[in-house]
Every structure is written in structure tokens, then in C-alpha cells.
Structure 1
């Protein structure tokens, strides 16, 4: 897998994550406070700049009340 393909996966993941968050009218700041994950980290996840760990993925999914797999599903 090329670095471009890896980046696309991260960006697609971030876009789906952002869409779920926005659909629920949850701000980045609110999600940060709810999850204990730094605001800057959540921004980087949404932009596809970092590959978050499973623990953070589960924590964010719990706070958004979705199954973690929803971050990976195409709409």
C-alpha cells in the first residue's frame, strides 16, 4: 500500500468521524471534554493527520453513542 493510499484511508476515516460528530451537534471542545482526549488530537484525527489508537477509537465511539465500525463504513 502506498503512502497516498494510507493517507486516503485516514482522511476518509476522519471525514466519517466528523460527519457523525456534527450530525449530533457536538463541538470539538465538547467531545474533548466528554472523552478526555485533547482537542488538538481530535482535530488531527478529523483531518486525517494521525492514526489514532484503538483505545481512543472506542472512547470516542462511546461518547458519540455509535459502534466503532461506523467510523469505517461508507455512507
Structure 2
């Protein structure tokens, strides 16, 4: 029983972490009034790929650097 509870807690924490990057990208992008389409274009990314990142897909570090450059922020702002 206790192992199941710990497993569920770990699962919830991992899910929260997996949404942190997409939520941060979306929050910063919206604060700067930039559309996904504009961000993708300026970062040299495909619109669909950026859309997937904002909706929880895995993202490469090199992609985060491109996004951060366009959003004029640090990569740490996107991952923390």
C-alpha cells in the first residue's frame, strides 16, 4: 500500500515537471505578445514542432536556446 502511494506521488511530480517547460514558454511568449507562428518563424522552427513543445512534447536543448533567444530570456527561465 505505501509503495503505491509513493509511486503515485512520484508520478504526479513527474507530470508537473513535464508541464513546466511548456507552461513557461507559453507564459513568456504571451507576456511578450508573440504568437506561436511568429515565435516559430523567428526561431527557425516548424510551427507544428513548436506547437508540440508547448503542448508537452520533449524538446532538445538546442531548440530551447533558439526559443530563449527570440523571447529575449535565459534558457533557465524556460526550465525552472
**TM-score > 0.5 by shorter chain:** yes
Deviations 1:22-64, CA, capped at 9 Å, x for gaps: 000000110111011111111111111x111111110110011
Cα RMSD for the two superposed structures = 1.7
Instruction: Say if 2:44 is the partner of 1:57.
Output: no
Unaligned runs of 5+ in 1: none
| Range with bigger deviation, 61-70 or 3-12 | 3-12
Query: Higher helix share goes to which structure?
Result: 2
Give the structure with higher Rg (CA). Answer: 2
Instruction: Say if 2:34 is the partner of 1:12.
Output: no
Normalized against structure 2, the TM-score is what?
A: 0.78
Unaligned runs of 5+ in 2: 1-6
Question: The residue matched to 1:51 in structure 2 has which SS?
Answer: coil
Normalized against structure 1, the TM-score is what?
A: 0.83
Runs of 4 or more, structure 1, over 4 Å off, are 1-5
Pairs aligned (count) = 72
